[in-house]
Amino acid sequence: MSEKTIAGVQVKLSDDGYMTDMSQWSENIAKELAGEIGIVLTPKHFEVLNYLRKEHAAGEALTIRKVGKSGIVDIKQLYDLFPKGPLKFSSLIAGIPKPTSCV
């Protein structure tokens, strides 16, 4: 476990770099995390991020297939929004723990 200042906020991170306290998340933190991996967030990104946060808070297991069936984006669009690891990077930016389905 480590700490890092992101968008002016001291946040706790897991060993994998995921936020450990969802309540610390903000859109500014999301923008900075996304920028670190070369993603510029759009309103569609935030739709996906908010969906992931809502599902995680409800205790739902997250998978690429489930996000693709959400009605927000299909699987191809999810890969377009978050290349090189759509669920891994979208979860990281959403401030939720790394999904168990991600390696």
The residues carrying an active-site annotation are 102
For 76, other C-beta atoms within 10 Å of its C-beta total 10
Q: What is the rounded distance in angstroms from the CA atom of residue 66 to the CA atom of residue 71?
A: 10
Both tokens assigned to 34: 């996304």
What stretches of 1-103 adopt beta strand conformation (E)? Answer: 2-6, 9-13
**Helical pair 43-57 and 86-94, crossing angle rounded to 10 deg:** 80
Both tokens assigned to 62: 């997250």
